[in-house]
Amino acid sequence: MPRQQGPLRVVDLGLVPYGEALALQRETREARLAGRAPDTLFLLEHPPTITLGRRGGPSDFITPRDALPGMGFEVYDTDRGGEATYHGPGQLVGYPIVAIRELGLSVPRFVELLEQTLIACLAGLHLRAQRREGSPGVWVGGRKIGAIGVHLKRWVSMHGFALNVCPDLKHFEAIVPCGMEDAEVTSIGAELGRSPAMDEVKERISTSFRRAFGYGGVETEAAMTSR
Kindly list the averaged pLDDT for each block of 10 residues, start to end, along the chain of length 227. Answer: 76 97 97 96 97 81 92 90 89 98 96 98 97 89 93 96 97 78 88 96 97 92 59
Instruction: Give residue 203's identity as a one-letter amino acid code.
Output: E
Q: How many CB atoms lie within 10 A of CB 154?
A: 9
Strand 156-164, strand 143-153: pairing: antiparallel
pLDDT given for residue 178 in this prediction: 61
Given the residues 68, 111, 138, 178, select the one marked as catalytic: 178
Residue 178 falls in the annotated catalytic set: yes
pLDDT given for residue 221 in this prediction: 86
Domain ranges of the chain: 5-222
As a whole number of angstroms, the distance between CA 140 and CA 133 comes to: 14
Q: How many CB atoms lie within 10 A of CB 49?
A: 22
Indicate the CATH number of 5-222 among 3.40.190.10, 3.30.930.10, 3.90.226.10, 3.30.465.10: 3.30.930.10
pTM (two decimals): 0.92
Strand extents, DSSP E, the chain: 5-15, 40-45, 49-52, 74-77, 84-87, 91-97, 130-132, 135-140, 143-153, 156-164, 184-185, 215-222
Question: Considering only CA atoms, which of 135, 130, 156 is closest in space to residue 83?
Answer: 135
pLDDT given for residue 177 in this prediction: 73
Reported as type and span, the H/E element at residue 213 is helix 198-213
Q: Let me know: does 181 contact 139? Beta carbons within 8 Å.
A: no
Q: Let me know: does 160 contact 148? Beta carbons within 8 Å.
A: yes
